[in-house]
Amino acid sequence: MTLFTKDDCVRCARLKRQFNLAAMEVRVEVLDDTNSSALAHLAWHSLVEVARKNLPVLVLDDSSTEADFGRIEHLLTRRAIQYGVVFRPPSPRPGCESGQCRMN
């Protein structure tokens, strides 16, 4: 799995706090102007437009994608259980009023 994030994304930060992504073998790709490999990986999955509208974006092991935060949280919860990794249970969803849950 790969989780595309952005440094100032509220929802992205929440997932990083909630789950030990490395222990769950989830690769984190931080999207910014200096990370051309992450942007290329995003483009390879044809997710540039999706990321412009909404972050985080999760690419599953079968290359399917998910951009709905609640669904991403559910999929990561299942993965944590599968890997036997302790995680923080979901709490009320943060909003994106600041507009920081997008790539641009």
Residue 71: the pLDDT is: 97
Query: Do the Cβ atoms of 12 and 98 come closer than 8 Å?
Result: no
How many CB atoms are closer than 10 A to CB 60? 13
Report, in angstroms and rounded to the nearest whole number, the Rg of the chain calculated over CA atoms. 13
Query: Do the Cβ atoms of 30 and 38 come closer than 8 Å?
Result: yes
Query: Do the Cβ atoms of 7 and 29 come closer than 8 Å?
Result: no
Residue 8: the pLDDT is: 92
- Give me the mean pLDDT over the 87-97 stretch: 68
Which among 73, 83, 95 is positioned nearest to 16, based on CA atoms?
73
Residue 103: the pLDDT is: 63
**All structural domains of the chain:** 2-83 (3.40.30.10)
